[in-house]
Structure 1
């Protein structure tokens, strides 16, 4: 089955559409569109009121505490749906990111996926789609959700002309930093990699952990590698490497060398490869590290999350990954892409009811995510009349200026190559392999085409 990877130009157009809305003037039909959207969501929900008793099982990956804004929003959407459909109960199971991925694999092996769950795009979905485990969603895209999504956001979930999941978020990866820590040591956000290395040295000299990193999970370290590779080799190099199954570009090797140089400088928290992303994040939230590179799904913790003290939120800023001397990349090239998307299990006993819930969920998420959680949704939202946190507005403006958004390597690659990438990037940041060995193993995995 042919896999459709999200085209960069299409994704960029999607991001531009969301960002431009932030600064545009509300059109005359804005309120009517909002009303129509709410009415359609209500219609999608009302079809099952008073019918047979149904329980839909749902799995998601936003535990309360680590992702409290998203967790609260999921609970509220479920409550709205259950109120409108008293015969339907949504039974949820919530797991953190890596536990979620592991359980999804276990459940799929026994054809026991939940009725509704979340998946990542592109290569991650290959085995589920090829195994006929996800129900096609095209009927929703041609029905209740027609023209609701920002253009370009659903393509990464399409295989062989059919769409098997629907995205709820768009994300990019800034480097968040603690402004108070920077000010204490007279530091400013880095413009170049050399600037970053000087910041690392200053912080280490003052016994402050420069960067927190959850290397145990692999993908957070991949962000750092990807940015180094892009800044060295240019905005299209990584996409070409994956599509061409060729990881031999000299810039890819140099990026691996630069990553290990940062490791040797003690840029990252001690024992990073033993920390999960949630553990690494806790260090930043507790002001025990100065920097944290992570997706914009973290923005609620720095803007809208009610359980995070405002005093802490005021201390957090972000910067774009710096350039590398002699490199071809730009600070306006980002790592990112569509976030997780909702799937419906093909083996669900209640496929149609599950699809109705997905339709309702997607629309409600789009309505509430910007104002209630500070999350960039995959559906169209007119933000021109909304009062948004400064960081959220600034990041939308960054998207407006973006040259390119490169989809995460572990998502782009097929499962075998993706697994190799995660293992090898862990080994690279743990100094367990040389840069040359890292490149050789990744190249072999891509060429194996698994």
Structure 2
């Protein structure tokens, strides 16, 4: 998650190349002392507090292991995805890298780029919640350890809702559209959107497809690669119905997510009433803008009248750390260090991530994140981000096609057709 379009060269880290020799444990020099090892760590936590927490973890690990140098690469979301795709297409993977799991990770596994850590994490795997692990396990094997889990929902400005005469968050999609109209009538921009980056827009279609068709529809589409069915089309038509209300901030088509003039800052500076975003939203709003403090609230994506999906079905994901196939043993040891309960709970308490370890729930202090954690705890179903759940080309087409519906460049019919064409092509 997620974001500032700049490569951050962490001052605590020394340059060097990733270790290319595979090792099950720490390496030894011929003299018997630990051999010098350098490994790469790629992640995308560019905002506080996790940015500083991760830098601190790297410093601590290197202080405890003087023979180890961690070379860190930190990128904003889109830049991270692009760079990781380029590197993996060349047949390589960083020693340690952030992953959302799902179809993208599975494709990397099938290409032989990711280490199967099943036999090496038996001492810690029991401490993780099954929900947090699920996106990184395939055929009974584990390929990453989770660092975060969460869900997408609407973050809203209580003061701007009150200005528009809205006394409570909408429970249905019809009420949501009515509230958009009320906000516009009150002179308030209803929704902040990073149209340039596309992935935030796909959340709307994904959630509407879940609420209208239910989770089984998305699971079936993963198998038969057909997104032209009535429920998917209806979801795209509702995206268009929302876009036709012109609810987004001026210039949204060129807006990024975490830049000073992007989606998070628009929300954090009180210039829009809502954003549909994951559990990381409050920290990015504060990092990119001023933050809303007590005026910030959260509500789940509304139910769609007559839909097959439950409002308690959640959409989102978390994050994990996977290892490249040739990563040294020290790299895995570092991932265990990163997810050790004392270290991970510090990030939970700081509001940077949500619990992935059993018994961490009490570490959640932020009231809005507590709402998210409670919603996850009572969720009746869970769907991973579509641009991660499906193969990369399909996920990219979902993002592109939904963005084109929002921008008026494609009809709903054209959007579901193009997604289907890519999905079927990828399955051949």
Paired with 2:234 and 2:94, the residues of 1 have a C-alpha distance of: 43
CA RMSD of aligned residues (A): 2.6
CA distance in 1, matches of 2:304, 2:140: 40
Residue 13 of structure 1 is matched in structure 2 by none
TM-score normalised to the size of structure 2? 0.85
Aligned to 2:207: 227
Q: Is the 8 Å Cα contact of residues 140 and 146 (structure 1) preserved in structure 2?
A: no
* Superimposed CA distance per residue, residues 30-67 of structure 1 (whole angstroms, 9 cap, x where no aligned partner): xxxxxxxxxxxxxx99999962232222111011xxx2
For residue 87 of structure 1, the aligned residue among 67, 79, 86 is 67
Superposition deviation, residue 446 in structure 1: 2.1
Deviation at 1:301, TM superposition (A): 5.2
Change (3 A) 1:393 1:47: farther
- Any unmatched runs of 5+ in structure 1? 1-43
How far 1:335 sits from its partner (Å)? 0.9
* Cα 1:152/1:285, change in 2 over 3 Å: closer
The one of 157, 170, 182 aligned to 2:136: 157
The answer for the alignment partner of 2:256 in structure 1 is: 276
Higher helix share: 1
Greater CA deviation, 194-203 or 281-290?
Answer: 194-203
Render the CA deviation track for 1:405-450: whole Å, top value 9, x for unaligned.
2122111111222222122111111111111111111222222234
Q: 1:115 to 1:199 in 2, by over 3 A?
A: same
Report what 1:409 is aligned to.
386
Deviation at 1:112, TM superposition (A): 4.9
**Equivalent runs, 1:239-254 vs 2, <5 Å:** 239-254=219-234
SS at match of 1:106: helix
Query: Deviation per CA, 1:119-147, whole angstroms, max 9, x where unpaired?
Result: 2212112332222111111123223x231
Equivalent residue of 1:439, what SS?
Answer: helix
Distance, in Å, in 2 between the alignment partners of 1:282 and 1:306 is 8
Partner of 2:308: 328
Q: Which structure has the higher relative contact order (CA within 8 Å, separation 6+)?
A: 1
* 1:185 matched residue in structure 2: 164
- Tell me: CA distance 1:47–1:224, structure 2 relative to 1, closer, same or farther (3 Å): farther
The within-5 A match list for 1:377-392 is 377-384=355-362, 386=363, 388-392=365-369
Instruction: Report the 3-state secondary structure (helix = DSSP H, G, I; strand = E; otherwise coil) of the residue aligned with 1:215.
Output: coil
How many residues in Structure 1 have an aligned counterpart in Structure 2?
Answer: 396
**Quick one: distance in 2 between partners of 1:207 and 1:189?**
18
2:269, 2:289 within 8 Å by CA — same for their partners in 1?
no
Could you report, residue by residue, the CA deviation over 1:302-355 in whole angstroms, capped at 9, with x for unpaired residues? 7xx799868x21110011111222222332122123x2221222234xx11111
What are the residue-to-residue correspondences of 1:42-121 with 2, within 5 Å? Answer: 51-63=34-46, 67-121=47-101
Equivalent pair of 2:103/2:388 in contact (CA under 8 Å): yes
